[in-house]
C-alpha cells in the first residue's frame, strides 16, 4: 500500500513523472551495462599475448648451459633462453624474462606472475597435475658427480652414509630422497652444491647431466661417475587452462625443430 501510494503521488505531478522517467532510464542503462559486462568473455592468456605481443617467461637462470645470468649484461642467456626467444620471434612476440627460484616456479605460474615456464623443467606425472606441458624439446637424465680424488663412489648404491647435494624442487632432489641412508642437502642454486663438494662438505652431487658437465667443464674440480640414472625430458609449461597458448607454442616449436634450429642451439651451448 505505501509503495502504491508513492507512485500515485509521483504520477499526479508533471515534475514527478519526469523524474520517474529519468530514473527509469538511468536504472535501465545501469542494468544494460551489468548485463553486457556479465556477458563479455574474459580475455584468454593467448589473446592478451597476441594483443600486447609480450610473453612473460619464468626461469630460474642458475642452471647453465640452459639458463644463467650473463654477468656483463645482467640478462638471462642459454639454450632455453635462445629457444623461447626464437619461438616468440616466429609467433611475432617478445619474451619478458622473470627470474625466480626454481622451488617456487610452479606457484609463480599458477599465480599468474608469468605465462610460461622454461627452466630445464622435467616432465613428470606429479607436475602434470599442476601445469600443462608443451611438447618436449630435450632429453636429459640424472648423474652423480664426485670430487676428482674420490675413487669409491661409482653408482647409486655407493651413496649410503654419504652427504649428497641437490637443487631444491628438482628431480635430482626427488631421486636422492628415494635412497636409503643418504644425507640429502638441498640448495637453491646447484652451483653452490658443487662449491660445497669442492670444499669437502659433500661427498657427491646428484643433478641433470648437461648442467653438471657444464659446471665441471668450467670449474674442473669434479668428475661424473654415473649417468643415465633416469629418463627425463625437458618441456615448457603453461597453466592448465591455457590450451590455446600451448598449441601455438607447440606449432612454433615444431617449425623451429624442422628448421634445424634446435640442433644449432645444441652445438652453440653444449
The answer to whether 143 and 224 have CB atoms below 8 angstroms apart is: yes
Query: Which of 9-18, 57-66, 118-127, 153-162 shows the lowest mean pLDDT across its residues?
Result: 9-18
DSSP assigned state of 203:
S
Residues whose CB falls within 8 Å of the CB of residue 265, separated by 6 or more in sequence, listed in order: 79, 82, 83, 86
Q: What is the 3-state secondary structure (H, E, C) of 89-133?
A: HHHCCEEEEEECCHHHHHHHHHCCCCCEECCCCECCHHHHCCCEE
Q: Does residue 60 carry a pLDDT above 60?
A: yes
* Alpha-carbon gap, residue 62 to 148, rounded angstroms: 23
Q: How confident is the model at residue 114 (pLDDT cuts 50, 70, 90)?
A: very high
Instruction: Kindly give the interhelix angle for 209-219 and 190-198, rounded to the nearest 10 degrees.
Output: 50
* Alpha-carbon gap, residue 156 to 177, rounded angstroms: 12
* Alpha-carbon gap, residue 21 to 231, rounded angstroms: 73
- Does CATH number 3.40.190.10 belong to domain 45-139+233-269? yes
| Residue ranges of domains in the chain | 45-139+233-269, 142-230
Dig out the grid coordinates for 248 from the structure.
601455438
The answer to whether 122 and 169 have CB atoms below 8 angstroms apart is: no
Q: How confident is the model at residue 152 (pLDDT cuts 50, 70, 90)?
A: very high
The answer to whether 124 and 170 have CB atoms below 8 angstroms apart is: no
Q: Does residue 4 carry a pLDDT above 50?
A: no
Q: If you average pLDDT over residues 47-75, what whole number do you get?
A: 97
DSSP assigned state of 155:
S
Same fold, 45-139+233-269 and 142-230: yes
Q: Does residue 261 carry a pLDDT above 50?
A: yes
pLDDT tens digit string along 116-125?
A: 999 999 999 9
The pLDDT value recorded for residue 5 is 39
CATH of 142-230, one of 3.40.50.800, 2.30.30.30, 3.40.190.10, 3.20.20.150: 3.40.190.10
Q: What is the DSSP string of 38-89?
A: HHSPPPPHHHHHHHH-EEEEEE--EETTTEEE-TTT-SEESHHHHHHHHHHH
pLDDT tens digit string along 12-52?
A: 454 555 445 444 545 554 545 444 455 567 999 999 999 99
pTM: 0.79
The answer to whether 174 and 83 have CB atoms below 8 angstroms apart is: no
The pLDDT value recorded for residue 26 is 53
* Alpha-carbon gap, residue 110 to 233, rounded angstroms: 21
Amino acid at each position: 500500500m505505501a509503495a502504491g501510494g508513492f507512485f500515485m503521488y509521483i504520477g499526479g505531478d508533471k515534475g514527478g513523472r519526469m523524474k520517474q522517467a529519468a530514473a527509469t532510464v538511468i536504472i535501465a542503462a545501469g542494468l544494460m551495462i551489468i548485463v553486457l559486462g556479465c556477458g563479455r568473455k574474459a580475455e584468454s592468456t593467448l589473446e592478451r599475448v597476441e594483443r600486447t605481443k609480450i610473453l612473460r617467461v619464468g626461469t630460474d637462470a642458475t642452471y647453465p648451459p640452459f639458463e644463467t645470468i650473463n654477468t656483463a649484461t645482467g640478462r638471462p642467456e642459454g639454450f632455453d633462453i635462445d629457444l623461447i626467444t626464437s619461438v616468440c620471434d616466429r609467433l611475432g612476440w617478445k619474451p619478458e624474462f622473470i627470474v625466480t627460484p626454481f622451488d617456487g616456479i610452479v606457484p609463480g605460474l599458477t599465480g599468474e606472475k608469468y605465462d610460461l615456464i622454461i627452466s630445464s623443467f622435467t616432465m613428470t606425472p606429479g607436475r602434470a597435475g599442476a601445469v600443462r606441458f608443451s611438447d618436449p624439446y630435450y632429453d636429459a637424465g640424472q648423474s652423480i658427480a664426485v670430487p676428482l680424488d674420490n675413487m669409491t663412489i661409482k653408482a647409486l648404491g655407493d651413496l649410503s652414509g654419504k652427504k649428497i647435494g641437490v637443487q631444491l624442487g628438482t628431480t635430482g632432489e626427488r631421486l636422492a630422497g628415494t635412497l636409503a641412508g643418504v644425507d640429502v642437502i638441498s640448495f637453491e642454486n646447484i652451483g653452490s652444491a658443487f662449491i660445497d663438494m669442492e670444499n669437502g662438505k659433500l661427498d657427491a652431487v646428484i643433478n641433470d647431466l648437461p648442467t653438471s658437465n657444464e659446471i665441471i667443464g668450467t670449474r674442473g674440480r669434479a668428475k661424473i661417475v654415473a649417468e643415465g640414472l633416469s629418463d627425463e625430458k625437458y618441456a615448457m609449461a603453461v597453466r592448465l587452462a591455457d590450451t590455446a597458448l600451448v598449441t601455438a607454442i607447440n606449432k612454433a616449436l615444431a617449425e623451429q625443430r624442422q628448421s634445424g634450429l634446435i640442433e644449432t642451439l645444441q652445438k652453440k651451448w653444449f
